Amino acid sequence: MPLTIQVRKNGPYRLEGDINLINLIDHDGNPIAIPAGKTVISLCRCGASVTKPFCDGTHSRIGFKGAEEAAVQFDATRPLP
């Protein structure tokens, strides 16, 4: 099954497929272990997860807005030229 990355609305990046083919590394180039037996993982997009880089659902509790929705809300508050 090919790897699919889905950007969840106001949530994480959801990866589904052959997860074992992913080479996940941290900012220093160190490998990050993917939990064994997983075929789906979610990567944090809000920055508040305590299990980074994996999502722990914190985005729901803090009211995270994805870039697309945040931009729409920001633009709605700007005065017209």
Res. 6: pLDDT tops 90: yes
> pTM value?
0.78
Measured CA distances, 13 to 5, 10, 54, 76 (Å): 6, 10, 9, 26
- What is the SS3 assignment for 54? strand
Report the CATH architecture of 4-77: 3-Layer(aba) Sandwich (3.40)
Q: Where are the domains of the chain?
A: 4-77
39-77 confidence digits (pLDDT tens): 899 999 999 999 999 999 999 999 898 877 766 666 667
Tokens of 45: 């997009």
As a whole number of angstroms, the distance between CA 46 and CA 77 comes to 22
